[in-house]
Amino acid sequence: MFYPEELENVFCGSVNGTYQRWDVKMLQDSCRTDHGFNQDSQAIQFLYEILSTYTREEQRLFLQFVTGSPRLPTGGFKSLTPPLTIVRKTLDANQNPNDYLPSVMTCVNYLKLPEYSSREVMRQKLKMAANEGSMSFHLS
């Protein structure tokens, strides 16, 4: 027999689990890159560096944005199924990536990331997308 809290932990991930900072190595091992990015891409390095500085609340907002759930499954980031996949957001040649927010496909843990000009621009755009877009649905 399970207590309701135990079942919630198994099916939904830990509610009150200890905060664990995401480090770059764990993110490299847990995330996939595709469609224009690889693990050595500057944008991917920026992303991992930014995510590794996130507080618990920022982690929850990011997870809600990219997966539709504010917490990781039991087992952590490496247990996301499917794994978080980060791809380059396709823009026309005359479009400035800095003018666009990242977008997601939450059903498959898919992050479409523009190739921003700097780490700081990426940090701002991720924050805006997570704060403003995590509770809405749009086709991208």
Indicate which residue of 18, 40, 92, 107 is catalytic: 107
> What was the pLDDT predicted at 133?
72
> Residue 109 is which amino acid?
N
Burial of 44 (0-12, 13-18, 19+ CB in 10 A): buried
Q: Which parts of the chain sit beneath pLDDT 70?
A: 2, 5-19, 134-140
> What was the pLDDT predicted at 86?
99
> What was the pLDDT predicted at 88?
98
CATH C-level class of 20-133: alpha beta
- Decide if 107 is catalytic: yes
> What was the pLDDT predicted at 137?
55
Q: Report the alpha-carbon distance of residue 77 to residue 71 in Å, rounded.
A: 10
* Residue 112, phi then psi, degrees to nearest 5: -100, 110
pTM (two decimals) = 0.86
Domain ranges of the chain: 20-133
* Pairing, β 103-105 against β 85-88: unpaired
* Chain segment 17-56, per-residue pLDDT in tens: 556 899 999 999 999 999 999 999 999 999 999 999 999 9
Alpha carbon separation from 120 to 35, 50, 59, 116, 126 (Å, rounded) = 23, 9, 17, 9, 10
